[in-house]
Structure 1
Amino acid sequence: MMSNGPPPSVRCLLGDLHRHRGEKVRFLGCVTYYNTHSASLTLEHEYKGNKMPAYVDVKLLLETLKSEQLEIGQWVHVIGYVTSFQILMTKSKEPRCSSSVHVQALVLWTAEDLDISSYEKAFASNRVADRTYPSQSSSAGLVE
């Protein structure tokens, strides 16, 4: 039976958002900056050396956002669509590559009683299961 409801979100780590362009995702990130002019949050979650920022457009949420959700250092959950992914190369003596991902937020809420190591372990164990039993689990992430 087909459902006419909205598609489910794929739960993923912030560092894996680039693999889900155009998809609805759910992820966790720490607020590192809020741009009041563009209504955009910069979120990061350093995991295994990956510190790619996510730029989250919160214009659709301006009427419901609370000030504590925008504070530097606050961990937040986001459900939204990955709108773009960019890779930038710097032109210098030592060229460096940096990347960023952009998300249109649909829902955002504060992560309370967060145990970040347990959160990361849940994804690590899912990746092991993906490699061990590829036909029984999705490598795209956990679907909610």
Structure 2
Amino acid sequence: MSAAPIPSRLIFLSELPQCSPRDKVRFLGWHVIVDKYDVKSGTLSLSHTYPKDIPTPIMAFINVDHVLESVRSADLEVGAWINVVGYIIDSKEEKVLKKSRKSSRRQQGTLSIRVQAIMLWSAGMLNVDAYEKALQERLSISV
């Protein structure tokens, strides 16, 4: 009997710094804006604005090497809203992937987290406020 894959944990992007390396996370693009796509490293740079009063902005660097064939060009455009399922990358794995930025590094007042995407898809047209409220309520219930 084979073991089933571990489920991902639905979180806000701002919660990524509390995750451990190799945690499987899911953060829906309702909160994520594609800030930059680096073709050479296959990395999306995603930012987050929830909660509005977050003291240190969070930047998630998403390695899309494993999902590149299924990613549409529209998902890589600046301003696209996307959904991501992936694993938190620790610094040792990051060296293997030959990435230039370090996990959880502060850069220009921003906390940086690296994620290896295993799924990525467009979030389409969303009501961001409704999603934030729904996810916050869900997280409050599950605690």
TM-score > 0.5 by shorter chain:
yes
Give 2:128's aligned amino acid: I
Could you list the structure 1 runs, at least 4 aligned residues long, displaced by more than 4 angstroms after superposition. Answer: none
- Of 65-74 and 81-90, more deviation after overlay is shown by 81-90
Deviation at 1:3, TM superposition (A): 7.2
Question: Mapping of 1:13-28 within 5 angstroms?
Answer: 13-21=12-20, 22-28=22-28
- TM-score of the superposed pair, with normalisation by structure 2: 0.78
Contact 2:59 2:110 in 1 (8 A): no
2:48 corresponds in structure 1 to 45
- Judging by fraction of residues, say which structure has more strand: 1
Which whole-Å deviations, capped at 9, do the CAs of 1:75-125 have from their partners, x for residues lacking one?
Answer: 0000000114414377xxxxxx43110000000000023111111112322
Question: Mapping of 1:1-80 within 5 angstroms?
Answer: 4-21=3-20, 22-28=22-28, 29-47=32-50, 48-50=52-54, 51-80=57-86
- Judging by fraction of residues, say which structure has more helix: 2
- Of 81-90 and 9-18, more deviation after overlay is shown by 81-90
Alignment RMSD: 2.0
Structure 1 unaligned spans of 5+: 91-96, 130-136, 139-144
Structure 2 unaligned spans of 5+: 91-102
% of aligned pairs identical? Answer: 36
Give 1:46's aligned amino acid: T
CA distance in 2, matches of 1:110, 1:60: 16
- TM-score of the superposed pair, with normalisation by structure 1: 0.77
CA distance in 2, matches of 1:59, 1:127: 30
Count the aligned residue pairs. Answer: 124
CA distance in 2, matches of 1:64, 1:89: 31
